[in-house]
């Protein structure tokens, strides 16, 4: 396994869900981090590493560590298909706006997981749609990630005016604590007075917090390298076309294929129309990272829940008929079901060939 693969996504669930996640379905490769309390004196964790590994910058010219001295800096590691980061984003965006005149500089370090996330046009389009106007360092070669010794999406690193890392936050949650750290680092300058009021956000759509109390399904990749609970009865053939069938009923958190598919290391690819992906899940939201293999094309799809078109349960990317179209490689919200949340059988049928599907995530 290459060094880059060793640094692949270890998404971190919100703090409120850590105990549940660890006991119900593991930590997705994450290590539970102890919560660091905000004290009168924050400890020094190390010097701010170099940002020279970034291959390009968006919204800014390249920023050097030396010129950040004298500023409080918030570094946010992200990748644009990560639902965990999307749910953190409204807070980071709000802090960047609220504290920019008081000396805070926010830098997003975009470290990709999938190959298509290395495409600068894809990242630019996603960041524009998500209203990110602070500097973004494109870390496509993982150099900045490795300089920090980072292992998580999302991750926050808080740097004081002397260029020292004073705090970190891995994963969603702890927003009030994180904002208190920002306030404390800013207030260490005698020339700046920082209020103690907390930021309130109105997160909607993809950015809405997960329903942690109902979440019993973990993220699952579809490529053979990291997938789990594949249930098509004929098993898998790697990197070759094969006709797959799906059982009529799946167990919770199993998934299956029907139709002519190729299962590759990081992705599954549909070769002929009418292919299906099925999954049994327990969550309010179901997302699928997917998109057409060929740029500029589109793939139509239909979404079903328990055998019926997803109408009342439809997500943001599904219309009132339970249908949608994949036009780019990104995360699609296919299900947002009303309470009560129960085990449901999800299916998506693709009416056109050429879809690439990468991972399920839930919320």
**pLDDT tens, position by position, 132-184:** 999 999 999 999 999 999 999 999 999 999 999 999 999 999 999 999 999 99
Query: Which two tokens mark 278?
Result: 């099925």
Q: In what order do the strands lie in the sheet with 136-138?
A: 46-47, 164-170, 155-159, 72-78, 104-110, 136-138, 56-58
**In the chain, which residues fall in CATH 2.60.120.260?**
212-362
B/e letters for 266-298, b = 16+ CB within 10 Å, e = fewer, are: bbbbbeeeebbbbbbbbbbbbbbbbbbeeeeee
What mean pLDDT do residues 264-292 have?
98
Going by pLDDT thresholds of 50, 70 and 90, the confidence category of residue 258 is: very high
Question: Poorest-confidence range of 26-30, 34-38, 116-120, 349-353?
Answer: 26-30
**What pLDDT, on a 0 to 100 scale, did the predictor assign at position 43?**
74
Residue 12 has pLDDT above 90, yes or no: no
Distances (CA, A) of 349 to 102, 262, 318: 51, 16, 13
232 in Cβ contact with 245 (< 8 Å): yes
pTM of the model: 0.88
Pair type for strands 72-78 and 104-110: parallel
346 in Cβ contact with 284 (< 8 Å): no
**What pLDDT, on a 0 to 100 scale, did the predictor assign at position 194?**
83
Beta bridge partners of 46: 165
CA proximity to 28, closest of 224, 226, 169: 226
**In the chain, which residues fall in CATH 3.40.30.10?**
3-207
What mean pLDDT do residues 26-36 have?
33
98 in Cβ contact with 198 (< 8 Å): no
Going by pLDDT thresholds of 50, 70 and 90, the confidence category of residue 34 is: very low
213 contacts: CB under 8 Å, gap ≥ 6: none
Going by pLDDT thresholds of 50, 70 and 90, the confidence category of residue 41 is: low
Provide the 3-class DSSP secondary structure of residue 312.
coil
**What pLDDT, on a 0 to 100 scale, did the predictor assign at position 28?**
33
* Structural domain 212-362, CATH architecture: Sandwich (2.60)
Kindly state the percentage of the chain with pLDDT values over 90. Answer: 84
CATH number of the domain at 3-207, please?
Answer: 3.40.30.10
């Amino acid at each position: 396994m290459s060094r880059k693969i060793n640094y692949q996504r270890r998404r971190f669930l919100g703090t409120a869900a850590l105990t549940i996640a660890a006991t119900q379905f593991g930590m997705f490769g994450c290590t539970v981090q102890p919560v660091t309390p905000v004290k009168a004196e924050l400890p020094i964790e190390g010097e701010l590493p170099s940002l020279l590994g970034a291959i390009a910058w968006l919204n800014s010219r390249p920023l050097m560590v030396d010129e950040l001295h004298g500023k409080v800096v918030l570094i946010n590691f992200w990748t644009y298909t990560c639902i965990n980061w999307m749910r953190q984003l409204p807070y980071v965006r709000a802090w960047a706006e609220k504290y920019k005149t008081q000396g805070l500089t926010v830098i997003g370090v975009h470290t990709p997981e999938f190959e298509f996330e290395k495409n600068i046009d894809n990242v630019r389009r996603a960041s524009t749609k998500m209203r990110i106007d602070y500097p973004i360092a494109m870390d496509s070669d993982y150099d900045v990630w490795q300089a920090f010794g980072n292992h998580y999406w999302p991750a926050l690193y808080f740097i004081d005016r002397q260029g020292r890392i004073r705090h970190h936050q891995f994963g969603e949650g702890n927003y009030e604590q994180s904002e208190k750290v920002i306030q404390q680092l800013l207030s260490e300058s005698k020339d700046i007075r920082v209020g103690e009021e907390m930021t309130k956000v109105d997160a909607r759509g993809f950015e809405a917090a997960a329903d942690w109390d109902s979440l019993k399904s973990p993220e699952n990749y579809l490529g053979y390298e990291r997938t789990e609970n594949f249930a098509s009865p004929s098993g898998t053939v790697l990197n070759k076309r094969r006709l797959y069938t799906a059982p009529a009923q799946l167990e919770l958190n199993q998934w299956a294929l029907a139709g002519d598919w190729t299962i590759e290391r990081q992705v599954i690819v549909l070769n002929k129309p009418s292919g299906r992906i099925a999954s049994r899940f327990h969550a309010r939201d179901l997302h699928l990272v997917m998109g057409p293999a060929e740029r500029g094309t589109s793939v139509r799809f239909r979404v079903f829940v328990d055998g019926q078109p997803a109408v009342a349960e439809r997500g943001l990317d599904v219309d009132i008929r339970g249908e949608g179209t994949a036009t780019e490689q990104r995360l699609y919200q296919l299900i947002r079901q009303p309470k009560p949340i129960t085990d449901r059988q999800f299916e998506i049928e693709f009416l056109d060939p050429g879809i690439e599907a990468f991972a399920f995530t839930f919320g």
